[in-house]
Amino acid sequence: MPIQIHESWKELLDSEFQKPYFKSLTDFVKDEYKKYKVYPQAKYIFRAFDMVPVQKVRVVILGQDPYHGPGQAHGLCFSVEKSVKIPPSLLNIFKEIRAEYGGSMPQSGDLSYLAEQGVLLLNSTLTVREGQAGSHQKRGWETFTDAVIERLSLQRDKLVYLLWGAYAIRKSELIQSKEHLLLTSAHPSPLSASRGFLGNGHFKLANKYLESIQEKPIRWL
C-alpha cells in the first residue's frame, strides 16, 4: 500500500509510518484489497489528508468507519460520492446546518467543499470491507489516527473540533493543547440525533470562534 499522502502530513507522521504496527496494518490492508471489495478505493484512503495540508486545517470533524455500501465512501468522513443518496446521519447534519443558517437542502452528499475550506473530515478507521461495518477496526488504523489527532493538536493552535457521539468525544483525551475549541454533542445518527445533536448550534459556534481569531467562517452549505 503506497503511502500517498500530502508532504506536510508525511513529515508530521513519518515516525508512525516506521513503526511495526503500521507495517502489519499495511500488509493487512493490501491483502484485504486483493481478496475482497474494500472501500474507499485505495487511491482515496488518505484523501482527507491530501485535501487539507497540516497548516490549512481549521476544523476537525471525527467519524468512525467509512461507509461500507457500494460507491459511498471516498475518503472523507460522513461524505459520499455525488451520485449516491445522502445517508441518514449526513441528512441530519444538513438539517442542523439549515436550522442554523437557512438555505435549501443540498442535492449532493459530497463534502469536498468543506475540505477545500480547511475542514479535516477524519474517520478513525480508514478502510472497511464491503457490507461489513467495523471489519477493519482494531487492526492499527485507530493507533494511526489517534496519533494524527494528538500530533495535530500539538502542531497547531486554535482549531475547532466537532466531536459527535461517545466514540468521538473519547478522542478529546488525545487533544493535548488547551488552545482549541472542543464542541461535543450526541451523534447525528437517527438513533441519537434528537438527543442532543439537532439544536446543538455547533456550526454557528464554530464560525463565531473562527471569526474571533480573525479566520474566515466556514461556508457550511
Strand partners of residue 123: 63
DSSP helix/strand/coil, 27: helix
Q: Taken in order 30, 32, 36, 39, is the CA torsion positive or negative?
A: negative
Q: Are 91 and 85 in contact (CB under 8 A)?
A: no
Cα separation, 185 vs 124, in Å, equals: 18
Look up residue 162 and give its DSSP letter.
E
C-alpha cell of 49?
Answer: 489528508
Q: Does the active-site annotation cover 50? A: no
* CB 169 within 8 Å of CB 184: yes
Cell numbers describing residue 85:
443518496
**Residue located via cell numbers 482494531:** 138
CA angle (109, 167, 174) in 5-degree steps: 105
Spatial separation of the C-alpha atoms in residues 42 and 29, rounded to whole Å: 9
How far, in Å, CA of 109 to CA of 220, rounded? 12
Of the candidates 27, 65, 110, 146, the residue annotated as catalytic is 65
Please identify every residue annotated as catalytic: 65
